[in-house]
Amino acid sequence: MIDLLRLIPDQLQASALMTKASGFFGVPEELIRNLARTAANGGATRGPVVARPPSGAGDGAAAAEVGLLAVALLHPALRGEIAAHAAMLEDAALAEALADVCDSQEPATILEVRVAERLSEAQRSRLSALAVGPLVETADQADALARDFAEALMRRRQQRAMETTRRAAASAGSEDEAMAAAQEMIALRRRGG
């Protein structure tokens, strides 16, 4: 697909297709643009290609959940480290699948069948896109990508904690409750919320 994008002479059309491909594959648009630039330069890269999950807490965090599963499937050596992030997954079926993969010593080909049965169609599509793409070819790329996905999940957790605290401050019944909520918001901001 990347090779086809660089054949489109009109930059606006190419840009629109990159945006659509990002949504279809559940991959950050920045990554698709970087891959297209790399292909246009004859495949030369300046370093490993690493996806950065979007900063928003919505769909980017859902993609990060599937991303952690993909990395765990493809790189068994990272499963122990990835298991530590399983508590941040909100999708119960995905969390269960990740726990199963991280607890297993079986190769990806065996685990993929069990995992696929637990995922939605959109999740299977994202998992496939990550598994066949160049994102996790080396252990270093996979490790960096897993850290990025974990950071996206942490941002989502912090954003939700901040929103809960905001609501508590807005509905505080007393000045003491409002002050406590405001102090909690300050603490969350300092921690990156």
Provide the CB-side half-sphere exposure for 190 (13 A, CA): 6
Q: Identify whether 1 is part of a domain.
A: yes
Q: Over the chain, what is the mean pLDDT?
A: 77
Q: What is the pLDDT of residues 13-58, one digit of tens each?
A: 677 677 777 666 666 777 777 777 766 666 544 444 444 433 333 4
- When divided into structural domains, the chain yields a total of 2
Q: Identify whether 176 is part of a domain.
A: yes
Q: What is the DSSP letter of 1?
A: -
- Cβ partners under 8 Å of residue 87, min gap 6: none
Q: What is the pLDDT of residues 81-138, one digit of tens each?
A: 999 988 899 999 899 999 999 999 888 888 888 888 888 888 888 888 877 766 667 8
Q: What is the pLDDT of residues 167-181, one digit of tens each?
A: 877 787 777 877 777
Count CB neighbours of 38 within 10 A: 17
Q: How far is Cα 118 from Cα 91, in angstroms, rounded to an integer?
A: 11
pLDDT at 58: 47
In terms of pTM, does the model score above 0.75? no
Q: Identify whether 67 is part of a domain.
A: no
pLDDT at 39: 64
Q: Identify whether 35 is part of a domain.
A: yes
Q: What domain range is 42 assigned to?
A: 1-47
